Chains A and B, each alone.
Chain A
């Protein structure tokens, strides 16, 4: 029997630029439609990240199977040093696909209603067990056999953390999307943004980090304050160590790092954690000291008040609605509110602390290989894949990887300097299916914005409400973004959760990637600053220092100062 819904489609290879030859590690990969993942990995990635991709990919396979989703996997791969992702559909007939889609919606619907309990009662305790395993491990004291055993455990536990990650996140992402749809349908597209007001002002691990740092700043004595404000952040610790009050403050600072410092800049394994290099923390401290009245706890309370007032209005507007509709709204609201908190909290434990421990294990191998002369420095370990690391230390003496590292470095520099293609592999039919799950994916990764008729206006998606005018600070990495000044508008490819503290400094955010449910939008709303997301081209079109005005409700960026007027 022929499938009446099947659209005739012949998969065709996507032409790749001559300077970007792709060598597929397996035939199946060549048949997939790979999209560049700029949202999570705007820059090139290190070979060590293959270990993360392995965990990430297994995590999606787990979640898709658990919820019976019609997708088999969402795969991340390193292709010529860049991260690409591809969706792997299940090989099903149209009818089987539709039936599975329905089951998935039921399963996800049930899961989203209990995501907070699921996380607090089951997942988080397990996550903490895994983290404790690494905390308790004596890396330096371990024999090589013990270290290899630990490496195998690391691989297993990190994969498990990412299974938990997507088991939690797939339903919460859907909850946010469904709530947004429900709100827009009930109160009109023009009020769609108010939906997010109802999700704001809940404390989460991210705001906790900021509040704790602000308290730390408030505890600084007058001379400590002067030192932090007047010293290069990289040198502050050395200066403070010279005075009694400075040493006291340093002790509190260390305590802070022990609680909140197990994180680095991105999902990458080649960046130091805050514990290893606390310069970013000193920089944020300086910001807090120069703004003593910007109390993040008070801001959070203000957002919570705003939320409760908006909720009272919303409930009043539902007078006369059928009870099932009111119940549906309340259920979606609760699921989305829980989701808003969990979308931050999970990252603290899984994305950051998990990666922190994996990096420590890698660095221990790096230290031993560097000592044995198999690497030029311990840090070079991230230029090897995990399998290469293990193969190296199984030999005696260790396999010398110095030449390989140099070659990898040259390759990365070569590919990093050219413009990588948006997609590679084999073209697959159409956009994601028009169903709640497909729409949720669109709201996370973003969909192409409407082209703007006005050359001075750049269109994106509404990310966080409000209008603000300011100087654009174009930054493609967190280190570039460190120069951003209060009142400026951050223009970037995307923001990883590690960028969050910057949201307390900037007046607005513009991103190339993402939708209304992406991290940048979620955090901007939490900080009450306007955001326009998913513009595709903001970092290419907007010049550093250019005066721009962004409308986070309309999703537009106006170039107040014409690009042509800039020198």
Chain B
């Protein structure tokens, strides 16, 4: 590489290079080639290195300003992302996507910062520095030391992605994770962002969709007492209005769209998948996709347990969550 590449877009082939953008951003970029993933770009490990070199050691923890050229590049990219999304002001998620010097994905859950619902280039810059600095936080360093990893070997890429202000979010399984049945898609859904479903703070709606016909064959409306909404600088858990709790979060058409997405990802990956997605303004966005872990064998088949039944899902996890 002649010129250090500071910023790459998801639609750029180079954004699939784990060494350049980290595992999270690379997998997301792969998904973006065939599905509607919220658009975004990555601040590469090269950009991190440039920042890291200019930052005085004492500032690496506290947060050091960006080099002038990088500052300009970020401003242009944020403006371009706004144009691509047709959003003004543009809300983004700013997330760490780390790798080790040996190129292994190092996006340790919870060890590096994520900033949701960031608006404006100044706030994005601040969030970026926050992400980079978090790689050097006492907590992250202690974790790395405990894991036998080199504390100085970290390279932090950061991804900046449109935050989809979800009208409703869903977690979709292309097979029943409990019974192992393959002919139905199982959907959990709630109003707002997906956090309430993933985090288990509500009993979401549960739908079953027949894979062949796309028809909703079973529907159980969850209590859905709360939902997550974006608020300046993050998200907030708020109550779902009582009269709305009894209403389904997804229409039958939306259920069918979720099922179709899960089926197509299952076909691409060659095994049952667990998908996070969200609806906004009538569009279905793919946020994350990974193999279903510990899926029981299909009760309709007599053969031995599915090979993917013991799959831990780590290496082909395709994370597109903003």
Residues of chain A whose beta carbon lies under 8 Å from any beta carbon of chain B: 105, 178, 181-182, 185-186, 320-325, 328-329, 332, 436
A186 near B165 (CB under 8 angstroms)?
no
B243 near A182 (CB under 8 angstroms)?
yes
Complex CA gap A322/B165 in Å reads 7
For the complex of A and B, list the 9 residue pairs with the smallest distance between their C-beta atoms, beginning with the closest: A182-B241, A185-B241, A323-B167, A322-B167, A178-B243, A185-B239, A181-B242, A322-B191, A322-B192
Which residues on the A side are within 8 Å of B241 (C-beta)?
181-182, 185-186, 325, 328-329, 332
CB proximity of A133 to chain B, nearest CB, Å: 40
CB proximity of B254 to chain A, nearest CB, Å: 11
Which residues on the B side are within 8 Å of A178 (C-beta)?
242-243
B168 near A320 (CB under 8 angstroms)?
no
Looking at the complex, which of B171-179, B223-231, B264-272, B287-295 is the stretch in contact with chain A? Answer: B223-231
Which residues on the A side are within 8 Å of B238 (C-beta)?
186, 321
Complex CA gap A105/B165 in Å reads 30
Q: Which of A105, A181, A182, A324 contacts B168 (CB 8 A)?
A: A324
Complex CA gap A436/B242 in Å reads 9
9 A-B residue pairs with CB within 8 Å:
A182-B244, A186-B238, A186-B241, A321-B192, A322-B168, A322-B229, A324-B167, A325-B192, A328-B243
B242 near A325 (CB under 8 angstroms)?
no
> Is B260's CB within 8 Å of the partner chain A?
no
> Is B154's CB within 8 Å of the partner chain A?
no
Which residues on the A side are within 8 Å of B168 (C-beta)?
322, 324
CB proximity of A182 to chain B, nearest CB, Å: 4
Which residues on the A side are within 8 Å of B229 (C-beta)?
320-322
Complex CA gap A499/B246 in Å reads 39
CB proximity of B55 to chain A, nearest CB, Å: 34
> Is B2's CB within 8 Å of the partner chain A?
no
CB proximity of A108 to chain B, nearest CB, Å: 11
CB proximity of A188 to chain B, nearest CB, Å: 9
A324 near B249 (CB under 8 angstroms)?
yes
Which residues on the B side are within 8 Å of A181 (C-beta)?
241-243
Complex CA gap A439/B231 in Å reads 32
Which residues on the A side are within 8 Å of B249 (C-beta)?
324
**Count of chain B residues with Cβ under 8 Å from any Cβ of A?**
23
Q: Which of A105, A185, A321 contacts B242 (CB 8 A)?
A: A185
| Contacts of B48-62 to chain A: CB distance below 8 A | none
Complex CA gap A332/B238 in Å reads 19
> Is B121's CB within 8 Å of the partner chain A?
no
A181 to B, closest residue via Cβ: B242
Q: Chain A CB within 10 Å — which of B117, B244, B246 has the most? A: B244
Complex CA gap A320/B192 in Å reads 9
Complex CA gap A318/B249 in Å reads 18
Which residues on the B side are within 8 Å of A323 (C-beta)?
167, 280-281
B193 to A, closest residue via Cβ: A322
Complex CA gap A321/B166 in Å reads 9
Give 1 or 0 for each of B167-211: 1 = CB within 8 Å of chain A CB.
110000000000000000000000110000000000000000000
Complex CA gap A436/B249 in Å reads 19
Q: Which of B192, B231, B239, B281 contacts A186 (CB 8 A)?
A: B239
B226 to A, closest residue via Cβ: A185
Which residues on the B side are within 8 Å of A332 (C-beta)?
241, 243
A182 near B191 (CB under 8 angstroms)?
no
Which residues on the B side are within 8 Å of A325 (C-beta)?
191-192, 227, 240-241, 244
Q: Chain A CB within 10 Å — which of B229, B241, B247 has the most? A: B241
Complex CA gap A49/B175 in Å reads 66
Q: Chain B CB within 10 Å — which of A105, A328, A329, A436 has the most? A: A328
Which residues on the A side are within 8 Å of B166 (C-beta)?
322
Complex CA gap A178/B246 in Å reads 12
Complex CA gap A226/B244 in Å reads 58
Identify 19 new A-B residue pairs, CB closer than 8 A, beyond the known A186-B239, A328-B241, A436-B243: A178-B242, A181-B243, A185-B240, A185-B241, A186-B238, A320-B165, A320-B229, A320-B230, A320-B231, A321-B229, A321-B238, A322-B166, A322-B167, A322-B191, A322-B192, A323-B280, A324-B244, A325-B192, A325-B241
Q: Chain B CB within 10 Å — which of A105, A324, A325, A328 has the most? A: A324
Which residues on the B side are within 8 Å of A436 (C-beta)?
242-243
B249 to A, closest residue via Cβ: A324
B191 near A324 (CB under 8 angstroms)?
yes
Complex CA gap A249/B243 in Å reads 53
Q: Chain B CB within 10 Å — which of A105, A322, A436 has the most? A: A322
B248 to A, closest residue via Cβ: A324
CB proximity of A172 to chain B, nearest CB, Å: 15
Complex CA gap A185/B117 in Å reads 23
CB proximity of A329 to chain B, nearest CB, Å: 7
CB proximity of B116 to chain A, nearest CB, Å: 11
CB proximity of A2 to chain B, nearest CB, Å: 24
Which residues on the B side are within 8 Å of A186 (C-beta)?
238-239, 241
CB proximity of B194 to chain A, nearest CB, Å: 12
Complex CA gap A413/B241 in Å reads 51
Q: Which of B165, B192, B230, B244 contacts A328 (CB 8 A)?
A: B244
Complex CA gap A323/B240 in Å reads 12
Which residues on the A side are within 8 Å of B165 (C-beta)?
320, 322
Which residues on the A side are within 8 Å of B242 (C-beta)?
178, 181-182, 185, 436
Complex CA gap A182/B230 in Å reads 19
Complex CA gap A324/B192 in Å reads 9
B232 to A, closest residue via Cβ: A320
CB proximity of A314 to chain B, nearest CB, Å: 13
Which residues on the A side are within 8 Å of B191 (C-beta)?
322, 324-325
Give 1 or 0 for each of B111-146: 1 = CB within 8 Å of chain A CB.
000000100000000000000000000000000000
Complex CA gap A186/B281 in Å reads 21
B192 to A, closest residue via Cβ: A322
B246 near A105 (CB under 8 angstroms)?
yes
Complex CA gap A111/B33 in Å reads 47
A439 to B, closest residue via Cβ: B242
A183 to B, closest residue via Cβ: B241
CB proximity of B206 to chain A, nearest CB, Å: 18
CB proximity of A436 to chain B, nearest CB, Å: 6
Which residues on the A side are within 8 Å of B247 (C-beta)?
324, 328
Complex CA gap A186/B238 in Å reads 7
Which residues on the A side are within 8 Å of B167 (C-beta)?
322-324
Complex CA gap A320/B230 in Å reads 6
CB proximity of A390 to chain B, nearest CB, Å: 47
B228 to A, closest residue via Cβ: A322
A325 to B, closest residue via Cβ: B191
